[in-house]
Amino acid sequence: MDNKVRVRFAPSPTGDLHLGGARTALFNWLFARHNKGVFLLRIEDTDLERSTKEAVEVILKGLRWLGMDWDEGPDKGGDYGPYFQAERKDIYKKYAERLLTEKKAYTCYCSPEELEKKRESALSSGKPPKYDGKCRDMSDEEKKKYAAEGRKHVVRFRSRQEGLTKINDLIRGEVVFDNALLDDFVILKSSGIATYNFAVVVDDIEMKISHVIRGDDHISNTPRQILLYEALGAKLPGFAHIPMIYGSDRKKLSKRHGAVAVTAYEQQGYLSEAMVNYLSLLGWSTSDSQQLFRLDDLVGKFSLEGCSKSPSIFDFQKLEWMNGEYIRSMNIDELALRAEPFVEASGLEVKDRERLKKAISMEQEKIKLLKDIPGLIDFMFKEEIDYEEGVKEKVLSKEGVKEILEGMRDAIRNMKDFNEQELETIIRKYCEDKGIKTSMVFHPLRVAVSGRTKGPGLFVMMGFIGREKVLERIENSLKYLGSSPFCVGKFNSI
Given 76, 94, 152, 255, which residue is catalytic?
A: 255
Q: Within a domain: residue 42?
A: yes
Rounded Cα distance between 132 and 151, Å, is 19
Q: Which of 210, 242, 274 is the last residue of a domain?
A: 242
Same domain flag for 63 and 158: no
Q: What is the DSSP string of 268-322?
A: HT--HHHHHHHHHTSSB--TT------HHHHHHH--GGGB-SSPEE--HHHHHHH
Same domain flag for 112 and 212: yes
- Number of separate domains in the chain: 4
One-letter amino acid of 114? E
**Residue 464 CB coordination number (10 Å):** 19
Q: Which of 311, 329, 347 is the last residue of a domain?
A: 329
Rounded Cα distance between 55 and 262, Å, is 13
Rounded Cα distance between 240 and 219, Å, is 9
Rounded Cα distance between 466 and 393, Å, is 26
Q: Residue 194: phi, psi to the nearest 5? A: -70, 145
Q: Residue-wise pLDDT tens for the chain (494 aa)?
A: 468 999 999 999 998 999 999 999 999 999 999 999 999 999 999 888 889 999 999 999 999 999 999 999 998 999 999 999 999 999 999 999 999 999 999 999 998 898 989 888 888 888 888 898 899 999 989 989 988 888 999 999 999 989 999 999 999 999 999 999 999 999 999 999 999 999 999 999 999 999 999 999 999 999 999 999 999 999 999 999 999 999 888 888 877 777 689 999 999 999 999 999 999 999 999 999 999 999 999 999 999 999 999 999 999 999 999 999 999 999 999 999 999 999 999 999 998 999 999 999 999 999 999 999 999 999 999 999 999 999 988 999 899 999 999 999 999 999 999 999 999 999 999 999 999 999 999 999 999 999 999 999 999 999 999 999 999 999 999 998 875 544 443 333 23
Closest CA to 268 of 88, 65, 492: 65
For residue 3, the model assigns a pLDDT of: 81
For residue 53, the model assigns a pLDDT of: 93
Buried b (16+ CB within 10 A) or exposed e, 420-454: eeebbeebeebbeebebeeebbebbbbbbbbbbee
Identify the bridge partners of residue 107 per DSSP, sorted by sequence position.
Answer: 155
3-class DSSP state for residue 27? helix
Q: Within a domain: residue 93?
A: yes
pTM above 0.95, yes or no: no
Q: What is the CATH number of the domain that holds 262?
A: 3.40.50.620
Q: Within a domain: residue 305?
A: yes
Q: Which of 242, 272, 295 is the last residue of a domain?
A: 242
For residue 162, the model assigns a pLDDT of: 93
Same domain flag for 227 and 249: no
Same domain flag for 294 and 403: no
Same domain flag for 200 and 264: no
Same domain flag for 249 and 220: no
Q: Within a domain: residue 82?
A: no
Rounded Cα distance between 321 and 301, Å, is 23
Rounded Cα distance between 12 and 444, Å, is 58
Same domain flag for 401 and 303: no
Q: For residue 454, what are the domain limits?
A: 391-493
Helices (H), 364-400: 373-377, 391
* 94 is an active site residue: no
For residue 426, the model assigns a pLDDT of: 95
User: Are 93 and 293 in contact, with CB atoms under 8 Å apart?
Assistant: no
Q: How large is the angle between the packed helices 458-465 and 467-483, nearest 10 degrees?
A: 110
Same domain flag for 66 and 130: no
List of E strands, 225-270:
238-242, 245-246
Same domain flag for 349 and 478: no
Same domain flag for 258 and 274: yes
Rounded Cα distance between 53 and 36, Å, is 31
Q: Within a domain: residue 81?
A: no
Residues 6+ apart with CB under 8 A from 39: 7, 8, 9, 28, 29, 32, 33, 68, 69, 70, 71
Same domain flag for 484 and 410: yes
Q: Is the dihedral of CA 21, 22, 27, 30 positive or negative?
A: positive
- The enclosing H or E element of 384 equals none
Identify the bridge partners of residue 212 per DSSP, sorted by sequence position.
Answer: 239
Same domain flag for 373 and 395: no
- What are the CA-CA distances from residue 315 to residues 124, 215, 245, 366 (Å)? 42, 19, 10, 20
